[in-house]
Chains A and B, each alone.
Chain A
Amino acid sequence: MDKRTLSQARPFLVLGLVLLAWLLLPTAVRTLLRVSFSEFHAPAVVTASHLRDLQAFWGTRLHSKRDLIEAGRDLARLNAHYELGIQELETIRLERDRLEALLDLPSVPGYRYEIARVARRDFTSWWQQVLIRKGSRHGLEEGMGVIFSGGVVGVVREVHTYTAVVDLLSSPRVRMAVFVEGDDRPVSFRGGANPALGPAFGRADFVPADISASPDRPRLVVTSGLGGIFPAGLAVGLIEQLEPGPDGLFRTGRVALDPRLNRLAEVAVLVPLEDGSGPAP
């Protein structure tokens, strides 16, 4: 082998050596390296997120007093509506507790909502994740469910001290058992892709053959409550069409996810309550 060929092969040799060294490194060192890099860039991401919030704050200050008064009036109406909803929920919760005690049923898992700002939306062709400004210091753990006003956002994948990474619902890594609204047979949901200039989508598998859906009459897919990550009944997406599955026994369909997922600014992490009591108001 001549000198020139050897010189050109050197970088590939070094590449092999570096990879071999990485594989031979103890797991603790590899984990430490990974955590160090994650924690190293977290302050920069969080600072940028705070700066965006500050920018939004100053932008809002430019609104006229009239706009603010109108917004305050609208909010007061919404608050009154929600107050009534909370009272209604409290009545239902008491009734549920009474029935559980009467029938000796296991209690429904309760959750605490940890509200978190989205520090970064990272929706590439390769992965779809968001970085939120809450971490292990706030009681977050891997595998917890994340929701927003439109339904399910995804699942916490990684937790750092002050930040956490959430796999979005459209990520192929996210799988869960769901129900088609109005039916209590479990269906499998899997994230799909997040196409350009359009809403993200996933896929529902093992849909019973007697369930139908069409673009005119889409069917809502909701969480099943199985697995305990999400409570039952949270919106996942809409099935607009169902096709026969490969086995002929079940059907499969594309689930259109909420377009607001691409604009997430604030989410709530579902932190399970240890005593199994109902969700905090």
Chain B
Amino acid sequence: MRDPRGIIVALIGLGLLFFTAEANHFLALLGLTVFFGGLPLAFAALFFRLRQGVLCAAVLGLAMGAGLPGSPLPVLALFLFSHAVIFALRPRLHAHEATSRTIAVLLANAICFLGLSLLYPPPLWALGSWLGRLGLEFFLSQLMLMGMTPWLFSLTDRTLNLFGIIVEEELRELS
């Protein structure tokens, strides 16, 4: 493959999803989970060309959707939609600024969170306790993402550097 960046970020994203699932295995004791799917999506949407970003979002969406009830299509569509929103907002976001990156990640994650909640709704009679847990998990996930964003962006950036890809320079050229 001539340009492996989409696959590299997808692999980092898969690693992140794996470690999140491991953390959720232990958090299940408390009846809690966290979700960070928006993090790699936002990176791909902020720094890559459309094709590479879509490839990354599609791999992540299919990987996540494959293990869930029903068809993986809704999760694939959700991840692609989240990527598309951040990509469309890219001209207004300053990708080289830490605050803008964090906002993009939080937005991408919130879209995925909301989308999954619409895709997998609870029975109406259990809505109260479901909303309570959902709110707590959303707050926890977004809070943790604020701390994780600089770290994962830096990790991804360094990994891409190993393959001779300098995304920040390319972004400057693109803009």
Contact indicator per residue, chain A 88-128, by CB within 8 Å of chain B (1) or not (0): 00000000000000000000000000000000111111110
Partner of A10, one of B25, B50, B116: B50
Binds A, one of B81-89, B96-104, B149-157, B160-168: B81-89
Which one of B72, B132, B137 contacts A34 once the chains associate, using CB atoms below 8 Å? B72
Whether a CB of chain B sits under 8 angstroms from the CB of A38 is yes
Query: Is B80's beta carbon under 8 Å from chain A?
Result: yes
- One of A15-23, A67-75, A176-184 at the interface: A15-23
- Chain A residues contacting B50 (CB-CB under 8 Å) are 10-11, 14
Q: Would you call B122 and A172 a contact (CB within 8 A)?
A: yes
Give B105-149 as 1s and 0s: 1 = Cβ < 8 Å from A's Cβ atoms: 000000000001101101101100110111011000000000000
Closest to A52 in B: B25
Q: DSSP class of B's interface residues: helix, strand, loop or mixed? A: helix
Contact B126 A41 (CB under 8 A): no
> Which of B54, B62, B83, B88 makes the CB contact (< 8 A) with A8?
B88
From B24, B81, B129, A193 is in contact (CB under 8 Å) with B129
Report chain B residues within 8 Å CB of A203.
123, 125-126
**A18 with B129: CB separation less than 8 A:** no
| In the complex, chain A residues whose CB is within 8 Å of the CB of B80 | 14-15, 18-19
Other-chain residue from A11, A120, A127 in contact with B21 (beta carbon distance below 8 A): A120
Question: B171 at the A/B interface (Cβ < 8 Å)?
Answer: no
**Is A196 a contact partner of B137 (Cβ separation < 8 A)?**
yes
A38 and B65 alpha carbons, distance in the complex (Å): 9
Q: In the complex, how many angstroms separate the beta carbon of A165 from the nearest chain B beta carbon?
A: 7
Q: Which residue of B18, B54, B134, B137 contacts A44 across the interface (Cβ within 8 Å)?
A: B18
What chain A residues lie within 8 Å of B129 (beta carbons)? 193, 195, 198, 201
Task: Confirm or deny: A12 has a beta carbon within 8 angstroms of a beta carbon on chain B.
Answer: yes
Q: Does residue B8 face the partner (Cβ distance < 8 Å to A)?
A: no
- Which residues of B have CB within 8 Å of A194? 31, 133
Residue of A nearest to B67 (CB): A38
Q: Is B22's beta carbon under 8 Å from chain A?
A: yes
Per a CB cutoff under 8 Å, which of A10, A14, A193 touches B133?
Answer: A193
The residue in chain A whose Cβ has the minimal distance to the Cβ of B138 is A125
Residues from chain A with a CB closer than 8 A to the CB of B31 are 123, 194-198, 200, 262
Contacts of A4 in B (CB 8 A): 91
- Complex: chain B residue closest to A163, CB-CB: B67
A251 within 8 A of B: no
Given contacts A14-B80, A198-B129, 15 further A-B contacts (CB under 8 A): A11-B84, A18-B80, A19-B77, A33-B66, A124-B33, A125-B117, A125-B122, A172-B123, A190-B123, A193-B129, A193-B130, A193-B133, A194-B31, A200-B31, A262-B28
State the 5 A-B residue pairs at the shortest beta-carbon distance, nearest first.
A37-B66, A126-B120, A11-B84, A121-B28, A195-B129
* Chain B residues at the A interface, C-beta cutoff of 8 Å: 14, 18, 21-22, 24-25, 28-33, 35, 50, 53-54, 58, 62-63, 65-69, 71-73, 76-77, 80-81, 83-85, 87-88, 91, 116-117, 119-120, 122-123, 125-126, 129-130, 132-134, 136-137
A-B contact pairs, 23 of them (CB 8 A): A9-B88, A11-B50, A11-B53, A11-B54, A15-B81, A19-B80, A33-B62, A33-B72, A34-B66, A37-B72, A40-B63, A41-B14, A48-B22, A120-B21, A124-B33, A125-B117, A172-B126, A192-B122, A193-B133, A195-B31, A195-B130, A262-B30, A262-B31
